[in-house]
Amino acid sequence: MSFVFPALNYPVVTHAGEADWHFPTAAEQWPAVVGDWLLDPHSLTAKLKHHSQHFAVQVLGQREAPLLGNETRWLGEIAGGVVREVILWCDHEPWVFARSVFPLQALAAAKLKLEALGDKPLGEHLFNQPDLRRSAVEVSQFAADSKVGRLHQQLGYAAQTLWGRRSCFHAAEQQLLVAEVFIGASPLAKHYRETHHV
């Protein structure tokens, strides 16, 4: 019997103010597992596939939409933006909620082929671009009552704080801002539950 994704609303993130995106500082002392997932410079998709036998992308939605204030800081006041939200599943368990934002013109860029992406992982697609450049990683925690925190609970997990990261990718003369929040059965979410007795 094939796995059926749960029905979820899109978009998950509807307004700014629930994240405190910042560049990591030396004062932030993290357990190894936290830094290993938040600051890994390689493809997250490849890492998730390495940690699971069955990897799948659930596309919650992708459409033209206004950017949030903290997203325009990276992409500027662009005329039109596309918002893509997905959940990355490992062995039928949710590990990552990802929100990608990019200019409308990036969708039509011939070299990127984003219009044909479908349910393929965007991150893996970007890491295959020959001219890929990536910004430094920003990190943030998300409260249990944030939109992403509520999504985590909707998927059957207890209320807790979640870790996320984001960075800006440059490829084919386009910019794409990708945020990833570790939810559900991910090692980061599990580590928080174990250390905070959730």
Q: Given this model, what pLDDT does residue 3 score?
A: 87
pLDDT at 104 over 60: yes
Binding-site members for substrate are: 84, 122, 180
Q: Given this model, what pLDDT does residue 1 score?
A: 52
CATH number of 32-196, picked from 3.40.1410.10, 1.10.3720.10, 1.10.12.10, 3.40.50.1100: 3.40.1410.10
Q: Given this model, what pLDDT does residue 85 score?
A: 97
Binding-site members are: 84, 122, 180
Residue 120 is classified by DSSP as S
pLDDT at 64 over 90: yes
Report CA dihedral (28, 33, 35, 36) to the nearest 10 degrees.
Answer: 170
Q: Rounded distance, CA 77 to CA 180, Å?
A: 22
pTM comes to 0.96
Please provide the distance, in angstroms rounded to a whole number, between the alpha carbons at the two ends of the chain.
32
Q: Given this model, what pLDDT does residue 77 score?
A: 83
Share of the chain above pLDDT 90, in %: 82
State the average pLDDT over residues 51-55. Answer: 97
